[in-house]
Amino acid sequence: MRNVKATIQYDGTAYHGWQMQANGRTIQGELTRAVSALDQKHVTIHGAGRTDAGVHAEGQVASFLLERPFEPSRLRDAINGNLDRDIRVSQVEFMPESFNARFSAREKTYVYRVWTGDVVSPFHYRYCHRHRGPLDFDAMREAASFLTGRHDFSAFTILNSEFDHHVRNLKRLEIELEGAILSIRVTADAFLRYMVRTIAGSLLDVGRGRISARRMEEILAGRDRSRAGATAPASGLTLVRVDY
């Protein structure tokens, strides 16, 4: 029995998120089907993060136990041979028995991308949220500075959260503009549901001048979801890496 770590990339446009569902195609469901066919029995797939419908990944990580003997590169190619082209396993490694893609993760990094140009490139429209009009990037960076550190992020998640508490350590929050693409890069020890997309929506409201940068500190402290910005669309969000 081998404990397999698989690094995965996917275009989430056509999927109902990571987590397996009774109705609708999911990333976990497709991987389960592909790996179970190779091992000729049901294989349980554990993911580092449960991305929502329409969210993409450049560096998602999954782990599973496999009985049949495979070399890593042959296993990677065999899994990919059973998947559609919008999901790819980029790397396979054999790990110690204690490794689990979710519980062994030390931190995760997401990027929320916003297209700020007049015409959306056909090479980017699936992976960016389009914004029309000017943005105050300095104000957005000032607002972002209030969110870094260990805080209760109740204002940036759904009201009926599955978690017992909403305290997370947001280690880095960077805002960069390269060409027409504004990138909001967020690294934390863990994330709440819709947390990155709500942070992105709130920062965009700051950039538009709808709320002041200083108000971000008040929103965070108030722990009231209704005071933060709208949840930004899923298409702009990508899980870029998981560190162990």
Most distant CA pair in the chain, distance: 58
Strand spans (E) along 77-217 = 87-95, 107-115, 129-130, 149-152, 167-178, 181-188
Residue 5: phi and psi, rounded to 5, are -110, 120
Sort strands 107-115 and 237-243 into parallel, antiparallel or unpaired. Answer: antiparallel
With b for 16 or more beta-carbon neighbours within 10 A and e for fewer, the 130-144 pattern comes to: bbeeebebebbbebb
DSSP, residue by residue, 93-116: EEE-TT--TTTT--EEEEEEEEE-
Token readout for 42 is 């049901």
| Catalytic position from the list 52, 86, 152, 243 | 52
Catalytic residue check, 52: yes
| 101 touches 47 (CB < 8 A) | yes
Looking at the annotation, which residues are catalytic? 52
